[in-house]
Every structure is written in structure tokens, then in C-alpha cells.
Amino acid sequence: MSELAERFETHDPGEKLVAEKIRCDACPVMCYIADGRTGACDRYGNVGGRIVRMDPLTILDHTSQTGAAIVPFVAEGEAWDGELVNTGRRFVTAIGAGTTYPDYKPAPFIVSQEVEGVDLVTVVTEGIFSYCGVKVKIDTDRHIGPETAIVRAAGEAIGHVTTGEYGSQMLSLGGVHHLTGGSKAEGRATCDALLDLCNRKPVELAIDGGATTIVEAGKPPVIDGKQEHRMRVGCGSATIGMFATQWRGLVDEVVVVDDHITGVVSEHQAGKVLGWQDTGIKIIGRRSTPGRYFKVSEPGLGWGGTSISDPLSILGEWNAKKGARPGLSLLMVSTTGEQFAYYELDDELKPVLKPFPERLQKSVGLIEDNCEPALCTVLFIGGAGGSLRAGVTENPVNLTRSVQGLTTYVTVGGAPVYVWPGGGITLMVDVTRVPEGAFGYVPTPALVAPIEFTLRRDDYIRLGGYEAEIRSVEDIVAKGGEYFNPRRGTGAAASNPWPPLAQLRRAASNETG
């Protein structure tokens, strides 16, 4: 049983309050925590009779974006002495901020800051996301499982295979049905896997009727024990189109083996335009258009995402009347250039494997060079609707409208998000852009994710914000908040810009115009 699962087992929110225990009210579980211990989620503890958020509040320093050096102003675990080392542009993230619960309370931090003459407010809270999951993109041609197949972690169903993309297999994991709609074990396993994936840890996923993969955000996937290195340059047809000129005059026929579209240069439009001669080749598969074949094999872990290990198995009889002749040369290659073989037809018009000729090395190398590294991408998706918004404004729908109208800019741990069009605030964020360890959980079960809403101060007041709770960055750095945790400064990732002034200015000019 995992550490997380053990906590689910041992925690009893209904246990009686005893004298030395105090109640954490940061989520509906309402743990009673003894002095020196932490609650069920490990995020809050009883330190000397006070409920303390155990991780430091993370404040990002954007000094590097103005070219100055980054100086961490307090190391993790050190006590904050109140001295302001960095006075450059900072961003108070929700990492370590604490949660707004019950939701009518104002968010833990409502931060004011003037940036380039614009008065901005950032509302900061650690949101509890019951409606959340991850979308996983696995860069591979290999067949990891059929669409809609169940994906399991620790033996429990936590999601499914969804529609594949160009060069990638896609998983949809988590969601409220797996978190809360199934058995307790399913909810735990789902929460466990989502938390690890969001915090960029490796997670083993087994797909019904398919492969076992190890997924880690930003790292190459491992499929049935083999690490993937490259994602394909394109489908077989696209590969023919891209490299036909490289092969002209060097070989009589080229077949690019691909589970989706296998390409044949002599028949393909690219080859025709270049004056390629017919070769009498026969592909066993469903011909789509000239030189493009579907379903040459079942999907699998072999050449180009097919199940084959011998590429000749997709070829039929060669036809002498259509150009086949002894000595005709044939290159067969996969869409990543990782598998390749060279053949010549014998007197019976049977392809015979020959040593790979030097003259074709460059073209195969070119395919490999054009392949990007294979990676796993994990996007956290969550609905910041419902009551979380009440911690931002007394009239929650105003926040939704403001986000949808681009007047309010949403970030997760300082990372930009994509907000889905339509109702509510359904956001997606690349977890590799979020500072490490930013995600937590509560045993309901649900994930906890930092979320910040930044908007112009006058807009914030207009939409019913908690004006009396607004504090300066300096005050927050010096005094902290209601959960007594230290503050920690760290350099912001260069890819996460602060602040989104262009957007906020544009929104303001749209309103006045």
C-alpha cells in the first residue's frame, strides 16, 4: 500500500477531540491534529498548538527577466528574518498559501502591486479540485492500447486511452468519476497517480489489452520496459514527400513503414513528380490513394507502430510486367529512421537482404535528425468554478465573466494557463511550467493546486473584491499569513512571464473603447 493510501486508511476524521489535539479547518475532512503531528494530507500540522501550513509560501522573483541576478531571499526551511534582500518584481504564488475553506472566507492572500504604473491585485489560494484530471501526451508511434481502453494504476481504473494525435498517443486520466464515483480504492489510486504525475514523478500505467508505460512529465516514455527516443518525423506518406529527392538516383524503390499510412515512393505523387520509374511492387494493405496504404498490419510495438518485425511481411509478389527485375534495389525504413533495411531482387524476383549501403546512410540519418525527442507531456485540467470563486469576490459569477472576458489573468503557481471557452473556469496547465512539488491532495479525495487571479485593482473592486483584505507584497513577505509558514523566494522560470500587462492593458482599453 502506498504512503498516500495508508493515510487514507489510518485517518479518522470522526475521532473525538482530545485536549492536545486541535482541528484543521482548511478542508472538509476537518482533521484533529496532535501537537507535533501533521494532518491527513501532510500539508498542515499542529506546531505548538497552532495550525501551520507546513510548506513555505513561494514567492517568485522575476528579476532575471529584467537581466539582474537572482538572489534567493530565504532558503527553504530557514526562518524568515524580515529583511528584504530582493526588491525587484515579485509574484506571490499560491504555493503554500493555504486554502479558502469554507469558501465564503476571503482568499489567504490578496496582494497589491504596482507594475509599470498599473495597480494590480493578485488573489492567491490553494484550490481544492474535485473536478480535475490530467491529459497525457506520449510521443510514440507504438500502439499502447486501443481507443477507450481502461488505463490502470496500482490495478485500479484511473482513466482511458483517448484519440491519438500526430506522432503521439493520448491518455485522459482522473476526473470526478474515478476520484469519487467508484470504489474507495479507485479514488485513492486515481488521486495518488494524479498527484505524482502533476508533481513530475514517474507513474506506471497499465493499459487493458495494451502496453505498460512509465509516464513522467518532461521525460521520454518507457513502453513495455523500452525507453522511447524519438517521435516520428511524420506519417509514411509525409516522410516520402519530405525525403523523395534524397533517394532519387540512389535506390529504385523506398517503402516507409507506418501503422497509419505506409508510403511507396514509386507510386506516390512525390515520386511521380520526380519521374520515378514503376517497380512492380505490391503492398499488402488497403490502398488509399497512389503510394499511400492503410492497415498494412495490426498496430503494435514493431516497425512504425505496426506489429511487424520483418518488413518484407507487408510485400506481395513483385510484378515483372510492371517493372520488377533482378537487381532492383529496395530501401525499407520506419517513420523514425530507427529501423531500416536494404534489399535487392534476385533472379526469382525475391527481395534478398544485403549489407546497408553507405550511399543511403545519409538519408536515413536525415530522417532521424528530423525527429524530435520523444517526451511525456502532462497537462493538469481542473474546474475552478463552484465555490472557490467566493474567496475572490462576494459575487462569484463576476470572476467567471472577468476571466472569460480576459480582464482577469489566471496562473497556476505563476505558470500561464489555457482557459477553455464556454461556461465556468476550466483551465489547463503544463505541469513542467509549475514549480516542483506545487500540487497536494486532500483525502476526500481531490487534488490541491495553487491558483492565482491577477487583475487591475479598479476592476477587482468593481467586481466585488475584498478591498479591506488587500496587502502589499512587502507586508506579506514580512508578516506572512494566518498559517504561520515561512516565505521562500525563488527565481521564476524565464518561460513564465510576469506580469501579463499587455493582456490587462488590452482588456482595459477594450472596456474604455
- Give contact residues for ligand SF4 (rule: CB under 6 A): 24, 26-27, 29-31, 39-41, 43-44, 442-443
39 vs 133, which CB is nearer to ligand SF4? 39
- Residue least distant from ligand SF4 (Cβ): 39
Nearest distance from C-beta of residue 397 to ligand SF4, angstroms: 27
Task: Kindly state the smallest distance separating residue 479's Cβ from ligand SF4, in Å.
Answer: 22
User: Among residues 5 and 30, whose Cβ is nearest to ligand SF4?
Assistant: 30
To the nearest whole angstrom, how small is the minimum distance from the Cβ of residue 106 to ligand SF4?
18
What is the smallest separation between the CB atom of 410 and ligand SF4, expressed in angstroms?
23
Nearest approach, Cβ of 26 to ligand SF4 (angstroms)?
4
Contact yes or no for 408/458 (Cβ under 8 A): no
Sign (positive or negative) of CA dihedral 394, 395, 401, 402: negative
For residue 349, count CB atoms less than 10 angstroms from its CB and return exposed for 0-12, middle for 13-18, buried for 19 or more. Answer: middle
Name which of 11 and 177 has its Cβ closer to ligand SF4: 11
The single-letter code of the amino acid at 165 is E
As given in the structure block, the three cell numbers for residue 470 are 488587500
Tell me the CA distances in angstroms from 227 to 213, 216, 333, 407, one per residue in order: 9, 12, 20, 44
Q: Which residue has the cell 497556476?
A: 412
Residue 394's CB is within 10 A of a number of other CB atoms, namely 12
Q: How far is the CB of 55 from ligand SF4 (least distance, A)?
A: 12
141, 305 contact by CB (below 8 A): yes
The residue among 26 and 392 lying less far from ligand SF4, judged by its C-beta, is 26
Nearer residue to ligand SF4 within complex by CB, 27 or 419: 27
Nearest distance from C-beta of residue 199 to ligand SF4, angstroms: 16
Closer by beta carbon to ligand SF4, 46 or else 408: 46
Chain centre to alpha carbon of residue 151: 17
- By beta-carbon proximity to ligand SF4, the closer residue of 45 and 210 is 45
Is 40 or 151 the residue whose CB approaches ligand SF4 more closely? 40
Answer whether 487's CB lies under 8 Å from 57's CB: yes
> Would you say 13 or 424 has its CB closer to ligand SF4?
13
CB of 459 within 8 A of CB of 52? no
Phi-psi region of 207 (alpha: psi -120 to 50; beta: other; left: phi over 0): beta
CB of 389 to ligand SF4, least distance (A): 19
Q: Which helix (H) or strand (E) holds 401?
A: helix 396-404
Rounded to the nearest whole angstrom, what is the least distance from the CB of residue 437 to ligand SF4 in the complex?
16
Side chain identity at residue 8, one-letter code = F
Among candidates 47, 126, 20, which has minimal Cα distance to 450? 126
* Cα-based angle 350, 352, 282 (whole degrees, multiple of 5): 45
| Coil vs helix vs strand at 58 | strand
